[in-house]
Amino acid sequence: MADPDVPTTSASANSRGKEQVNEDRGGKSVQDFSSDGILTAVGRSLGLLSGNQRLRLYLIAAIQVSLALLDLLGITLLGMLAAVAVSGVGATGIPPIVEQAVNFFGLEALTVSQLSVILASAAVFVLVTKTAISAYVSRRIFRFLASRQADVSAGLARKFLSRPLLEVQRWTTSEAIYALGSGVGAATVSVLGSAIIIASEIFLFAVVALALLLVDPLTTLGAIVLFGVVVLVMHRFLSRRGAKNSKIITDSSIDTLSAVSEALQTYRETTVLSRRELYIAKYQGLIGNYARATASNAYIMEIPKYVLEATLYLSVLALAVSQFLTKDIDDAAASVALFIAAGSRVVPALLRLQGASITIRNASVQAQPTFYLAEHLKQDTSDQSVIDRAKNPLSAAAIKSRIASGHGDFDATLRVDDVSVTYFAATTPALRSTSFTLESGQSCALVGSTGAGKSTLADVIIGVIEPDQGFVTVGGLTPREAIAQYPGAISYVPQAVALVAGSVRENVALGLPAEAIDDSLVWEALERSHLAEFLRENREGLDTMIGERGVRLSGGQRQRLGIARALYTRPRLLVLDEATSALDSETEQAIINTLDELEGEVTTVTVAHRLATVRRADQLLYLQHGEVVARGTFEEVRSQVTDFDRQASLLGL
């Protein structure tokens, strides 16, 4: 047997900061998992399904397994055919057990030729019928599993995206994409589909072996031992190599996604620095590992066919020699014919069994990121209300009505009470015992040096980070509860606006279905963000396609589009994190005027380094090393913080 060409170097050794990832996850990364045993893998895959889904899978699997009885009937008919055919040229006549069956069905008056035709026709009909039914049931099984793959993937994504930001950030983008996509497919379609194949073939072996034991116990036991040893040896030999290849495939798939993403995101820098070839070489290495491992696994799946075919030929030869040397020619021929008929069904079943077992071992490796993610998400149910809300989203009409109403019953009073946050692996808190209250309609500015904790506080306010201690409420609700009950009442503008490949309309009304988008409100938001005139005069209005990540817009236009997105829902609480940093002075002033117009109607929290943006805020908080060291009006903070006063003086404020 040829030894498969198994790559030995995983590309993940050259990838992201794995040690930090491991530490963030309690010492365990997706690359640290090995393959599960077959039963463990099947159990973990079944755990991804609901109780009702598992019951339906069991029922349809039972139908597939029971089809082995038709195989047994077909093999029996072929054996009877062989016995009748041999009796036509021999001297001993039809074996007694076959004669009893012929008499039972009232066929004793038929000639050997007529009986042979009937038995052959019946055998072919039974076996073809079994094949057709099995093909249909298999199609239904895999369609069912494909639907479950979609359900599981969506369910995990719902839970994953409902988690606080710091928990989500434990996973790289490429790992999350893999765990929610390819990993789910491996866990459902590959593992569970192969498990049903194994159950079907094992049942077939059981019924065929039982029938053959009644005919010739010694020969049957010998065949069971021979083929059992061959299958077990191949399973141990090939499964280890297949699992090793599958680990390489999994790691390479994740790392390839990362490499491509990095190359696209750093295109300008790598071009200017003339380092594109380094990324291409890295990508080529990853793809090379993936291709070699994939080819090796494909070869591994072919090996059982050659081994089992050779074993069948040798065993038939040995059986024929022993039978013809120890029995009369009629009994020997009938026995050999029966075992050949059984082998014609059993060997293909063995191939399917061997292939399915290897597939499960390989797929269990590829599914490890999904298994770990699912287990990780089960550990915390603190966001169950958010998850339940996501399962029953508002209708398009309700969303449109809420936005149009302006969230009139929403209380935008903000309270931050003794909030502290410490990031993973950090030795000092990013926020320390921070407290302040902002009445509905008031404005607050968060100022301070880089790394002071301003953006962290903004993230806590909008609910994407859960504080280690203390709490935040908006109108008496936690931010996540407020978002679930009043979608759109809280809006956020980041410094780096994330845009999707689509039209301006789709980006302003991010995520909303087409029937829920109000074009008049889109234009209103664009007017307030001072982007409407440009779109009317130079582009195709709301249908303007902005390209992936907004590449057809300038940096300032992308930022204004992000502001328009936040204003589209007519929010009552607006959080801006350096939202005007990419704007020219004239546009920035226009945006400031827009925010001034919202004074009294919208509660605003603004993170800014450019002091002109926050000069007229009702309340300023000056942060330093995660602590609020000064608060009050602009002038009051100037009098309390020397550095702040110096910055304001340099700007002529």
Q: What pLDDT, in 10s, does the model give residues 193-232?
A: 989 988 888 888 787 777 777 767 777 787 778 777 887 8
Sign of the four-CA dihedral 537, 542, 548, 549:
positive
Q: Which two tokens stand for residue 574?
A: 């607006």
Rounded CA-CA distance 547/562 in Å is 15
More confident residue, 489 or 426: 489
Name which of 170-179, 368-377, 398-407, 411-420 the model is least confident about: 398-407
Rounded CA-CA distance 322/222 in Å is 12
Tokens 């550990």 -> residue: 379
Is residue 335 within 8 A of residue 323, CB to CB? The reply is: yes
Q: Please, is 477 exposed, middle or buried when counting C-beta atoms within 10 Å of its C-beta (0-12, 13-18, 19+)?
A: middle
Dihedral, CA atoms, 366, 369, 373, 375, nearest 10 degrees? Answer: 70
Rounded CA-CA distance 71/64 in Å is 12
Distances in whole angstroms, Cα of residue 408 to Cα of each of 440, 475, 597: 12, 13, 18
**Would you place residue 417 in the very low, low, confident or very high pLDDT band (cuts 50, 70, 90)?**
very high
Identity at 337, one-letter amino acid code? A
Angle separating helix axes 38-46 and 329-366, nearest 10 degrees: 60
What share of the chain has pLDDT > 70, as a percent?
Answer: 83
pLDDT digits (tens, 9 = 90+) for 61-91: 899 888 888 888 887 787 777 777 766 655 4
Whether pLDDT at 115 is above 70: yes
Length of the chain: 653
Is residue 458 within 8 A of residue 446, CB to CB? The reply is: yes
User: Mean pLDDT throughout 116-126?
Assistant: 86
pLDDT, mean over the chain: 79
Distances in whole angstroms, Cα of residue 476 to Cα of each of 411, 414, 544: 8, 8, 41
Is residue 297 within 8 A of residue 240, CB to CB? The reply is: no
Rounded CA-CA distance 254/176 in Å is 9
pLDDT digits (tens, 9 = 90+) for 294-316: 788 777 777 777 777 777 777 77
Q: Please, is 325 exposed, middle or buried when counting C-beta atoms within 10 Å of its C-beta (0-12, 13-18, 19+)?
A: exposed
**Would you place residue 573 in the very low, low, confident or very high pLDDT band (cuts 50, 70, 90)?**
very high
**Would you place residue 268 in the very low, low, confident or very high pLDDT band (cuts 50, 70, 90)?**
low
Rounded CA-CA distance 191/195 in Å is 6
pLDDT of residue 480: 86
Rounded CA-CA distance 434/420 in Å is 7
Q: Which two tokens stand for residue 297?
A: 């696994």
Per-residue buried b or exposed e for 586-597, using 16+ beta carbons within 10 Å of the residue's own CB:
ebbebbbeebee
Tokens 């090793």 -> residue: 244
pLDDT digits (tens, 9 = 90+) for 165-190: 777 878 888 888 888 988 899 999 98
Those residues with Cβ within 8 angstroms of residue 366's Cβ, 6 or more apart along the chain or in another chain = 182, 183, 186, 190, 246, 249, 250
Name which of 250-259, 274-283, 551-560, 600-609 the model is least confident about: 274-283
Q: Which two tokens stand for residue 485?
A: 């009950």
Identity at 9, one-letter amino acid code? T
Phi/psi at 421 (5° precision)? -140, 135
**Would you place residue 25 in the very low, low, confident or very high pLDDT band (cuts 50, 70, 90)?**
very low
Q: Which residue, among 206, 299, 287, 290, has the nearest Cα to 250 in the 3D structure?
A: 290
Dihedral, CA atoms, 391, 397, 402, 403, nearest 10 degrees? Answer: 110
Q: Which two tokens stand for residue 310?
A: 């050779």
Give the other-Cβ count within 10 Å of 284's Cβ.
Answer: 12
In the chain the domains, ranked by start, together with CATH numbers, are: 37-378 (1.20.1560.10), 393-650 (3.40.50.300)
